[in-house]
A and B are shown apart, each in its own frame.
Chain A
Amino acid sequence: MSPDRTRRLSGGEVALTLGVVLGFGLLVLLPLALVMGQALLPDLLEGHVPHLSLAGLQHSLANPRSITAITHTALLSVLAATTATLLGFCYAVMLTRTDVACRWLLSITPGLIFLTPGYLKALAWVLLMSPGGYLAQFGLLSDAASDAFFGIGGLVFVHTLNLFPLACFVVSAAMAGLGGEFEDAARTVGASARGAWLRVNLPLLAPALALAFLAIFAEVASDFGMASTIARSIDFGLLTYSIATAIENFPVDFQLAGSQALVLLSMLSAALLLDRMLRRQRRVRLISGRARPARIYRLGAWRYPVAAVGLLVSLLAVWLPMAAIIARSMARTLGQGLVSSNMTWRYIDQALTLGLPANQALLRSLGFASITALVCGVLALLLAWRLDQGGRVLRNAVLAVSMGAMAIPGVVMGLGYILMWNRLPVFSASGLYGTWPLLVLGYISHGLPYALVVVLPAIGQISPNLLDAARLYGASAATRLVRIVVPLIALSLITSVLLVFTRTVFELPISQLLQPTSGAPAPSVIVRYFGNDNDGIGSALSLLAIVATGGSAGLLWLAARAAGRAVWGKGVGDMVGMPGGR
């Protein structure tokens, strides 16, 4: 038991805490409230006295396009969540319970998939699967297969490859917690390996599988990348894209957008609620984290065939799409194929030349992302530090809201920002709408929860005694923060900044909806290039964005870790994990 650390807050601390809550409310809660208000109080932003009415909601949802979008979203989410959970489960079992060959290559795949944005892979798959695309050129693709891809089958396929790592992470963690003894105990009382899996391991892993399913369901339902690329090109209406078109097309229909957003949020809330209920189950908690690692199955002659299947998944999910983007960025046209006469540096050159639109968009995005990441890092640090000092209630409340905010689709957040800064009196008068600072503000509100989720646990691990000791020596709050907290959580802080940076460079829906009039950021420009059959320059821009972001983030992280090692003699992050935080 930790000692009771509650004490009376000073006036300044109360003000700071209030400020923190207010800022958080303005950034996240108000836009969200406006979206819901728009759906349920149609007159809210019309200057009349608002009255509750379901008529508008009913009208908007009775629209055939809404009905299609809702059913498509539900169907696609359930299908893709099922296949991705299954694939993730098999992948996790292969990685954690067998002596499969090529383990290293297989084990980095889920992380790589997670780091590359989904819509870029979707665009790459279009290059691969379209009738004149790369796979057809190699004779690997029949027309029938190509047709099947451009339908719900293709969407399920790409979503599965993109999201199975989520299930893989969840199931791997659950299996590590489960350990091998439950299974061993079943074997020692006479169960076969199959029996032990069916009757003991699978029932015990069921909650984890359900959690993975729900998380993937929510990801697919709130995805904007595939919805605005593959799905749009085949006119497969989905809620997120439908919300965006309701705002972007003329006449703008906020009522429709708000209603559809409400439906989407309800679907996500249902998933979140089920998730909470599952986590509360007492029996899940009996599985301890100190379990003996489970035994590894010897695959014998099957080591290589199984590895081949795993590598195929890896190839389809990461390497093939990347190869397609690289190939397309260096080719004059898609149709002429991979021949030297079709090679050109033109697109890459355009993306690299200062002053040209593609390069401007890239630099803009890198700049926006840098500002966003730094602001999020500082805010997350202050917020987490404040929360750690404050009461448990406030801490849990903010953590819960952050987790909730992570589940809010970017397109809904974007809609909320439009309602707030374009239509809500006082805010609309600020003139911020349509400018890049508002876009950055949108990025910040979307990135802050991620930064907080990394920084908050790290700060929580610092032993209070370390800070009390500094206080005894007369260090002020600011000194304690800068001299004790920051050095101890440096690696987490840098990780959070880099996480927000990479997410922001590729953030699509907010970029699309809050596009500044001064010029669009890279994600919306990339999607537009592909939409206008300029996929060469689109690919070149994607490639450079990936190289610039991944390269700079990777180098910074390695440099930070090396610097930490040089100063401490070991990783900075390691310091916090030690008992007492020494």
Chain B
Amino acid sequence: MATWLECRAVAKRLGGKQVLEGLDLAVEKGEILSILGPSGSGKTTLIRLIAGLADPDGGEIDVAGRAVFGPRVNVPIERRGVGYVFQDYAVWPHMTVAANVAFGLEMAGLGRAERDLRVKQALASVHIGELADRFPDQLSGGQQQRLALARSLAMRPEVLLLDEPLSNVDAALREHLRLEILQLVRAHGTTAIYITHDQSEAMALCDRLAVMQHGRLLQTGAPEELYRRPNSQFVASFLGSANALAGVMEGSVFTAGGVQMRTNCPVPGTFVELMFRPEDALVAEAYPQNQLEGVVEACMFIGRCWRLTLRADTTMFQIDWPHRVAEQTTLAFSIAPDRCALVPREAEPRRDF
């Protein structure tokens, strides 16, 4: 597959702060990439630069094999072939639903008949065909978001950029719309970047996931790869609950105090942290050579299981357990070697005085 969107060494300062630092990114044709990061990590800035809504301080951007920004190029927004779905929809309040979709087609010089047909198709595809003559203020939030999506898709953009499109939609509708967006974008075969700070949304909606922090992409890959094999503590904890145990590698064995753990995962160095997720805890007998032990300090029912908080020396663990365990009980559990991810230790080992 060919690279369809590429950013090379893109940098941007805003208000004296380096928002993006020499960022590289490549998206394949037809691929959906989710960019996940906390607010202020630079994800919206990145897609605004791609769309041309702001200019980078340096770097190059190619869309559909054509340079749209570089040392000697700066293609105007309207000629980049980039669609953009805004966080608060930005549907024009003075135009009807149909006129909102038709506007861009008219700008593209399409004839009346063609325009009407495309408007009809676009509205039907997002299930608001019967609302064509309404004004946006007569639509619900979800309908406005569908309209915003239809407006962008009707233009058949080379790349579609979605800026947290579901953050203003209530939780019940969000899951439903998430699936709908995914199906629509796939059906159109559109290359898309989906920005969000919601990890479950990011993982559900993409072919590839990128995690961003402080203007840098920390890790890019398939969602399950990032979830199982994070390359940093930040990525691990941002994608879901994670336990960390600081230690050193002795050969291929992780050692922390008296504890020894075996792992199949890549070893990033000598001083590492062993990460595992609460749901990976198994009964001690499952992997007798990979056991941990702690005193139960709290036990909370969370629906599908019990979440236990365990203390082992100075470390706290959270694990999911199939039944209630009395507090102050000492409990041993085990972790499968392929679920023991290793990440480089971010700080020197802390000493407690």
> Which residues of A are at the interface with B, using a C-beta cutoff of 8 A?
181-182, 184-193, 195, 199-200, 203-204, 282-283, 285-288, 290-291, 295
Contact flag A204-B107 (CB < 8 Å), given A185-B86, A282-B137: no
Question: Which of B31-39, B75-83, B187-195, B233-241 is the contact stretch?
Answer: B75-83
Query: Is the pair A181, B137 in contact by a Cβ cutoff of 8 Å?
Result: no
* Distance A182 CA – B77 CA, assembled complex (angstroms): 14
Query: Is the pair A188, B77 in contact by a Cβ cutoff of 8 Å?
Result: yes
- Contacts A/B (CB < 8 Å), 16 sampled: A184-B51, A184-B53, A187-B53, A187-B77, A188-B51, A188-B53, A189-B78, A189-B107, A190-B78, A192-B76, A192-B107, A195-B107, A204-B93, A285-B137, A287-B93, A295-B53
* Distance A337 CA – B243 CA, assembled complex (angstroms): 86
* Distance A452 CA – B76 CA, assembled complex (angstroms): 49
Please name the residue on chain A nearest to B77 by beta carbon: A187
Contact of B152 among A188, A192, A193, A200 (CB under 8 A): A188
* Interface size range of chain B in the complex: 20 to 34
Please name the residue on chain B nearest to A288 by beta carbon: B88
What residues on A are CB-neighbors of B107 within 8 Å?
A: 186, 189-192, 195
* Distance A295 CA – B45 CA, assembled complex (angstroms): 13
Query: Is the pair B103, A295 in contact by a Cβ cutoff of 8 Å?
Result: no
Query: Is the pair A184, B94 in contact by a Cβ cutoff of 8 Å?
Result: no
Query: Is the pair A191, B94 in contact by a Cβ cutoff of 8 Å?
Result: no
Query: Is the pair B54, A295 in contact by a Cβ cutoff of 8 Å?
Result: yes
Query: Interface on chain A toward B: helix, strand, loop, or mixed SS?
Result: helix
Q: Which 8 pairs across A and B sit closest by C-beta, in order of nearness?
A: A189-B104, A181-B90, A286-B93, A190-B107, A187-B77, A188-B84, A185-B90, A190-B78
Contact flag A189-B137 (CB < 8 Å), given A184-B86, A195-B107, A286-B93: no
What residues on A are CB-neighbors of B83 within 8 Å?
A: 188-189
What residues on A are CB-neighbors of B93 within 8 Å?
A: 204, 283, 286-287
What residues on A are CB-neighbors of B52 within 8 Å?
A: 187
Query: Is the pair A191, B86 in contact by a Cβ cutoff of 8 Å?
Result: no
Contact of B84 among A184, A192, A199, A286 (CB under 8 A): A184
> Which residues of B are at the interface with A, using a C-beta cutoff of 8 A?
51-54, 76-79, 82-84, 86, 88, 90-94, 103-104, 107-108, 135-137, 148, 151-152, 155
Among B90, B91, B148, the most chain A Cβ lie within 10 Å of the Cβ of B90
* Distance A291 CA – B86 CA, assembled complex (angstroms): 11
Among B79, B136, B137, the most chain A Cβ lie within 10 Å of the Cβ of B137
Query: Is the pair A182, B82 in contact by a Cβ cutoff of 8 Å?
Result: no
Q: Please give the distance in Å from B123's CB to the nearest CB on chain A.
A: 15
Query: Is the pair B94, A203 in contact by a Cβ cutoff of 8 Å?
Result: yes
**9 other A-B residue contacts (CB within 8 Å) besides A188-B82, A282-B135:** A181-B86, A184-B77, A188-B84, A188-B152, A192-B76, A192-B107, A195-B107, A283-B93, A295-B53
Please name the residue on chain B nearest to A282 by beta carbon: B137
What residues on B are CB-neighbors of A295 within 8 Å?
A: 53-54
Among A189, A204, A288, the most chain B Cβ lie within 10 Å of the Cβ of A189
* Distance A182 CA – B88 CA, assembled complex (angstroms): 10
* Distance A455 CA – B225 CA, assembled complex (angstroms): 60
Q: Please give the distance in Å from B336's CB to the nearest CB on chain A.
A: 46
Q: Please give the distance in Å from A155's CB to the nearest CB on chain B.
A: 35
What residues on A are CB-neighbors of B103 within 8 Å?
A: 186, 189, 191, 199
Query: Is the pair A204, B84 in contact by a Cβ cutoff of 8 Å?
Result: no
* Distance A435 CA – B116 CA, assembled complex (angstroms): 74
* Distance A283 CA – B95 CA, assembled complex (angstroms): 10
What residues on B are CB-neighbors of A290 within 8 Å?
A: 88
Please name the residue on chain B nearest to A206 by beta carbon: B94
Please name the residue on chain B nearest to A185 by beta carbon: B90
* Distance A195 CA – B90 CA, assembled complex (angstroms): 17
What residues on A are CB-neighbors of B148 within 8 Å?
A: 185
Please name the residue on chain A nearest to B135 by beta carbon: A283
What residues on B are CB-neighbors of A285 within 8 Å?
A: 137
* Distance A204 CA – B108 CA, assembled complex (angstroms): 22
Query: Is the pair B78, A188 in contact by a Cβ cutoff of 8 Å?
Result: yes
* Distance A200 CA – B92 CA, assembled complex (angstroms): 7
* Distance A360 CA – B72 CA, assembled complex (angstroms): 71
* Distance A291 CA – B103 CA, assembled complex (angstroms): 22
